[in-house]
Amino acid sequence: MEKETIGVLGSGTMGRGIAQVAAQNGHNVVLVDINEEALKTASNSLRKIMERLVEKGKWEQDFADKTFGRIKFSQSVNDFKDCSIVIEAIVENLDVKHKVFRDLESIVSNHCILASNTSSLSIASIGAVLQNPDRVIGIHFFNPAPLMPLVEIVPAVQTIDDTVNRAKKLIDGWNKVTVLAKDTPGFIVNRVARPFYGEALRIYEEGIADFATIDWAMTELGGFRMGPFTLMDYIGNDVNYAVTESVFKSFYYDPRYKPSFTQKRHSEAGYLGRKSGRGYFDYSENAVKIEPNKDSALGEQIKNRILVMLFNEAIDALFLNIASKEDIDLAMTKGVNYPKGLLQWSEEIGLEKVLNQLEGLFHEYGEDRYRPSPLLRRMVRDKKSF
């Protein structure tokens, strides 16, 4: 049976990755971009990626040719007319998204799902311009889409169950791990991960340790693949700062998500990370590697402080029903490669210990940022487990 045709709007970093995933799973794909150059770049880049997969022996030549051949590159949204789903991955701007969603609805069938890959806009606000908003949904891939297993499925208040089920079934069929998230800022991953950056920056700002030492504590002692500063340099300080600021504003300025001046200044100075040759670390050819201070007591202090903040965020997401406990743990291991699910991890360490440490920070600083989640308090009080 012929598989349904998938539409992808926007052929940038995310759109072309999503197109690849759909095509390698046997779908015909229509990849549309208004910019001809962008389409050319996407086509060249996909060709190159597939050639490399063949060279490495991961794909057969025939499979690569067929996969590439299934992608139709187009500048016209009219080519979406036979698609059963269109996934939008264009510029992160609500006005522009509104315009394209209106256009899309006038072209596709009534049955076609209209999805957005947005990271920071609400799905409800995107769907608000549709005549039939029950077909709108967030389908949030992670970068690079072909490699990262996690996809957050985000129904808006307008979305009907049939849309959710069809979207989930489709993406599950692409060998992705789907989790269901509430339409709230940052969904699961970009909300729960905030302290990994924010608390690391705070520890640095207080003068407790330098970038290299904090990264060492989180990788060597915490088991994370990358330390927070290396990761921010990889993501780009401009991008990471923008996400933090957007989450902070969207949460009505909850101090827990407060951005950091250190990151803002690095971003303003053009110290964006790897892509600009310098971020928190120097990536130039002759750069001298900064050695961390491998004091184990200091390392433990850093690791535990960042970890309890992450645990608290995950527990609070569960408290507010952002997602199920299984999905919160899956999201962090499959979306950002955390060594363990945070809820499971917090229990292994002991919820009472986690609460005590948070209470200690809360009393010492007197800042709302360190307030323990009511669910954590309740669980400790009632001696419960997840």
**Contact residues for ligand NAI (CB under 6 A)?**
9-15, 32-35, 38, 89-92, 96, 100, 117-119, 141, 143
Q: Which is nearer to ligand NAI, 53 or 86 (CB)?
A: 86
Q: Which is nearer to ligand NAI, 187 or 281 (CB)?
A: 187
| Catalytic, out of 88, 152, 199, 313 | 152
- Distances from the Cα of 344 to the Cα of 328, 332, 385, angstroms: 10, 11, 9
The rounded distance, in Å, linking the Cα atoms of 138 and 34 is: 22
The rounded distance, in Å, linking the Cα atoms of 136 and 158 is: 8
Q: Which is nearer to ligand NAI, 90 or 217 (CB)?
A: 90
Order of strands, edge to edge, in the sheet holding 6-9?
71-74, 29-32, 6-9, 85-88, 113-116, 136-141, 150-155, 177-180
- Is 140 an active-site residue? yes
| Catalytic, out of 25, 119, 237, 246 | 119
- Is 373 an active-site residue? no
| 3-state class (DSSP) for residue 281 | coil
Q: Which is nearer to ligand NAI, 2 or 37 (CB)?
A: 37
Contacts of 5 (CB under 8 A, 6+ apart): 27, 28, 29, 30, 82, 83, 84
| Catalytic, out of 25, 116, 117, 190 | 190
- Is 152 an active-site residue? yes
Q: How far is the CB of 325 from ligand NAI (least distance, A)?
A: 24
Residue 136 belongs to what H/E stretch?
Answer: strand 136-141
Question: By Cβ distance, which residue is nearest to ligand NAI?
Answer: 12
Q: Which is nearer to ligand NAI, 318 or 323 (CB)?
A: 323
Signed CA dihedral, 376, 332, 344, 351: sign only? negative
Record the tokens describing residue 58, joined without a space: 């991961």
Q: How far is the CB of 38 from ligand NAI (least distance, A)?
A: 3
| Catalytic, out of 25, 27, 116, 140 | 140
C-alpha distance across the termini of the chain, in Å: 43
The candidate with the shortest Cα–Cα distance to 115, out of 75, 100, 27, 106, is: 100
Q: How far is the CB of 102 from ligand NAI (least distance, A)?
A: 11
Q: How far is the CB of 91 from ligand NAI (least distance, A)?
A: 4
Q: How far is the CB of 269 from ligand NAI (least distance, A)?
A: 22
- Catalogue the active-site residues: 119, 140, 152, 190
